[in-house]
Amino acid sequence: MATNLSIDPALIERALAVSGETTKKAAVTRALEEFVARRKQKDVLDLMGKLEWNPSFDYKAERTRR
């Protein structure tokens, strides 16, 4: 999907420098992927303290189960 965006050229140059990408498209794609991943992580963190855990669950026993 072709999209025209007006992005600060200095910001694009910084993104290229820190990402190691060689094209603007690759740098923007990586930035969007990382943005989405971080937001998903935040959603998981928001669940902290809201889930009920079974205190008798033995997670170590589950590791050896085959």
Mean predicted lDDT score pLDDT of the chain? 88
Q: What is the pLDDT of residue 8?
A: 96
Instruction: Tell me what percent of the residues of the chain surpass a pLDDT of 70.
Output: 97
Tell me how far apart the 2 most distant CA atoms of the chain are, in Å. Answer: 56
Is the model's pLDDT at 64 over the cut of 90? Answer: no
pLDDT in tens, 33-61: 999 999 998 888 888 778 788 888 888 88
- One-letter amino acid of 13: E
Query: Cβ distance 15 to 4 under 8 Å?
Result: no
Is the model's pLDDT at 66 over the cut of 70? Answer: no
Stretch 14-38: mean pLDDT, rounded? 95
